[in-house]
Amino acid sequence: MNDEDLLKDVKAKAQAWTQAPHDEQTRHTVRTWLNTCDQDEDAREALIDAFYTDLSFGTGGLRGKMGPGTNRINATTIALATQGLANHLLRMHGAPTSAHPLRVAIACDSRHQSQEFAQITAEVLASSGLEPWLYPELRPTPQLSWTVRELGAVAGVVVTASHNPSIYNGYKVYAADGGQVVAPEDSQLVAEVRALSTDQPVARVQEGIHVLDATWDDRYRDVLASFRLSPDLVANGSDLTIAYTGLHGTGALAVPAALKAFGFRNVHEVSSQAIPDGAFPTVHSPNPEEGAALAEAVALATQVGASIVMGTDPDSDRVGIAVPDGDGFRLLNGNETAALLVDHVLAKWQAAGKLDRPSFVAKTVVTTDLLSELAKGYGVEVRETLTGFKFIAEAIRKEEGKLQYVAGGEESYGYLVGDAVRDKDAVQSCCLLAELAHELDLAGETMLGRLAAIHKRHRAYKEGLVSLVKEGRNGKEEIDAMMKGFRTSPPQELAGETVAEILDFQSREARNTKGEVLRALPQAASNVMQFVTEKGSRVTVRPSGTEPKIKCYASVSASWTDDVSHDEMMNRLQRRVEAHFQALGVR
C-alpha cells in the first residue's frame, strides 16, 4: 500500500474517534490531526502512527504508547480488550452461575492512568456478568499471577508496561493457571477484540466488583517466606546490609515488607525512589537492566556499606543487582544473576532431598546455556522455551504431574523459583538473592567469588545484547527487512567461527549452511533466527515483543582453569562477544 492509500484508510479509521463515545480530549486531538495532516508533516505522521495498525499481544501482552488511536493505549483500547476478553471467557466457559462464577483478578502498577484502566477493566467485566476482583491500589505483577490461582479465577489482568519508559502502558492477560495467555488462546482473544468496533460504546457497570483487601498481601508474603532455604536465616534472621530501590513502582510497597518477612532487618531503601510515580522522575528509564537506573541505589549502598544492591522495575517482575567489587560495586547481567540464583536453589533443594523426584529447570533460547550445565550437574532436566516468561509458565503447566519445576530465568532479569507464581517474580527473587548474599557472608565468600566457582566447575560463559531501536511504521518495516535478510541470507561464518547450525524458529527447523534440514525444533513458531558456530557460540536475532526494537544476542563460552585469572578469562570472552556483534553488522 502506498502512502496516499494508507493515509486515506487511516483518515477513514480515525473519523470514528472524533465522535462519542470517545472523550472530548481524544476527539479534539484526532480532529486536529485530521484537519492539519495534509499540510503538517508532523500531524500526518502522528495520525498514521496512531491508526495504521491495531495493538496486538506480544511476549508481554498488549503494550504501547498512551494516547488516541487504535495503535495506542487509551480508555477505548482497554475497554475493547476487556470486552474481547469477556466474550472469549464466556465462549470458553459458558454463562456464569452462582455456583460457578467466572472470577477475574485485576491489578495495576504505578503508571499514569493505570488505576483508571484497571477500574475500566473491572467495570466492563462486571457488565458482562463476570466477577471482577480488583486490587484497589498498585500491586506487583507476580502477586496478580499468584492471586489468579489462589482465587480460582478463570483469568487475570494487570495494567502495566513493565520496564518501558513513562509514555507507555500495557495490559497483560493471564489464564487460569496464572501464566500469561499463550497460543492458541492468545490469537482467539485477539480475534474477539478485533471483531469489536471502536465506534460503539462498551458497556460498563460498577456493581458487582469485589475488592482484594490487605489479607491477600499477607497471604502472598507468607507464600514468599515459605521459600526460605537457609536454616540460619530461618532460625536467626539476618543483619545483612541491603540497599534497595523500587524505582517509583510497586516494589516500593512489596519488596521491603517481603524482605522483612524473610528475616532481613537491615534494609535501606532509596527514599527518593520509594514514592510510586508514573513519571519516574529520578530515572531516564525505570529499567533495572540499565546501570543508570540503579545509580542512586549504588550510591546509597556505598554510604551504608551494603553487601548487595537490588532494584526492581515498576511492576516488580524484573530485578537488577550490584555486588561489591574492590572499592566499588559491579552490576551483574541477567545471565550472571540467573546462574547464581539457580545454583543456590538447586544446591539447597538437593541438600533438603527435594530433588529426589524428577525435576527440571527452565530457560529461554537466548538465556545462558550455563543454566543447562547447572541442571545437568544436579541431575535435573532442562526445558528451553521461546523468549517470554509466559512460555516458561506454559512449560510448567505441561510438565505438571510429571516433572517438578525447580527454577528458571531469562537473560532479561526475570526469575522464578517454584510454581506458586507463574510469571517472573522480582519480589521473590530479591528475597532469595539476599538469602544467598547472607549465606555467602556467613561463609566469608562473595557473589563474584561464587560466580567464578560456578564457571570453574562447569564452563565460563559470557553473553551480550545489542538492541537497535526502530520507532514507528518505518521502524517496523526496517525490522521486518532485517529479519528477512537474516533468514534468506544467513551468515556462513561469524568472527572466524564457522556456522554449524541455523535455527529458524519461524519454520521450526534447524538447518546446515547448505539449507539441509537437520531436525525439527520443539518450540512453537516464532520470528527468531539463531546461528550456532562450531565452537558452540550462539548468535540470535529477534524483534522485541514489547518494544520497537530488534534484539541481537551473543553467547560464548570456554573451559577455564587457573592458567589465567577469572577477570582475564571474562575479558577474553567479552572480546569474542564483541567480535560476533561486529560480524553480524550491529556494532
SS3 271: helix
- Which helix (H) or strand (E) segment holds residue 539: the answer is strand 538-543
The pLDDT, as a whole number, for residue 56 is 74
Domain final residue, candidates 158, 183, 212 = 212
Q: In what order do the strands lie in the sheet with 414-417?
A: 381-385, 359-364, 404-410, 414-417
In this structure, are residues 298 and 320 in contact, taking their beta carbons and an 8 Å threshold? no
Q: How many other CB atoms are there within 10 angstroms of residue 45's CB atom?
A: 15
Give CA–CA dist 503/506, Å, rounded.
Answer: 9
275 and 162 assigned to the same domain: no
Report, in this order, helix, strand and coil percent for the chain, each rounded to 5.
40, 20, 35
Give CA–CA dist 121/160, Å, rounded.
Answer: 13
CATH number at residue 425: 3.40.120.10
Range of the domain at 524: 460-584
Give CA–CA dist 249/316, Å, rounded.
Answer: 7
Establish how many alpha carbons lie within 13 A of residue 509's alpha carbon, considering only the half-sphere containing its beta carbon: 9
| Catalytic center residues | 162
CB burial string 188-204: b at 16+ within 10 A, e below: ebbebbeeeebeeebeb
267 and 181 assigned to the same domain: no
Q: Write out pLDDT tens, residues 470-511.
A: 887 788 889 999 999 999 999 999 999 999 999 999 999 999
195 and 333 assigned to the same domain: no
415 and 467 assigned to the same domain: no
Number of domains in the chain: 4
Query: 14 to each of 17, 29, 70, 244, how far by Cα in Å?
Result: 5, 11, 9, 45
The pLDDT, as a whole number, for residue 547 is 75
379 and 300 assigned to the same domain: yes
Residues 6+ apart with CB under 8 A from 583: 491, 493, 494, 495
176 and 219 assigned to the same domain: no
Query: 211 to each of 127, 171, 451, 458, 508, how far by Cα in Å?
Result: 16, 19, 44, 49, 44
Average pLDDT score over the chain: 95
16 and 136 assigned to the same domain: no
Q: What is the DSSP string of 294-323?
A: GHHHHHHHHHHT-SEEEEE-TTSS-EEEEE
208 and 218 assigned to the same domain: no
Q: Write out pLDDT tens, residues 40-83.
A: 999 999 999 999 988 776 555 688 999 999 999 999 999 999 99
16 and 97 assigned to the same domain: no
CATH number at residue 519: 3.30.310
In this structure, are residues 162 and 60 in contact, taking their beta carbons and an 8 Å threshold? yes
Report the sign of the C-alpha dihedral through residues 513, 514, 517, 519, in that order: negative
117 and 261 assigned to the same domain: no
The CB-based long-range contact list for 128-131 (8 Å cut-off, 24+ gap) reads: 128/83, 128/86, 128/87, 128/90, 128/203, 129/90, 129/95, 129/96, 129/102, 130/86, 130/89, 130/90, 130/96, 130/101, 130/102, 130/103, 130/104, 131/96, 131/101, 131/102, 131/103, 131/104, 131/208, 131/210
249 and 396 assigned to the same domain: yes
422 and 412 assigned to the same domain: yes
Domain final residue, candidates 399, 429, 458 = 458
SS3 437: helix
In this structure, are residues 523 and 365 in contact, taking their beta carbons and an 8 Å threshold? yes
- Dig out the grid coordinates for 295 from the structure: 545509580
Number of residues assigned to the chain: 587
The pLDDT, as a whole number, for residue 61 is 67
Give CA–CA dist 427/225, Å, rounded.
Answer: 11
Per-residue pLDDT of the chain (587 residues; tens, 9 = 90+): 577 889 999 999 999 999 988 889 999 999 999 999 999 999 999 999 999 988 776 555 688 999 999 999 999 999 999 999 999 999 999 999 988 999 999 999 999 999 999 999 999 999 999 999 999 999 999 999 999 999 999 999 999 999 999 999 999 999 999 999 998 888 888 888 888 877 778 999 999 999 999 999 999 999 999 999 999 999 999 999 999 999 999 999 999 999 999 999 999 999 999 999 999 999 999 999 999 999 999 999 999 999 999 999 999 999 999 999 999 999 999 999 999 999 999 999 999 999 999 999 999 999 999 999 999 999 999 999 999 999 999 999 999 999 999 999 999 999 999 999 999 999 999 999 999 999 999 999 999 999 999 999 999 999 999 999 988 778 888 999 999 999 999 999 999 999 999 999 999 999 999 999 999 999 999 999 999 999 999 999 999 877 789 999 999 999 998 889 999 999 999 999 999 999 998 88
Q: Can you tell me which residue has the cell 564452563?
A: 459
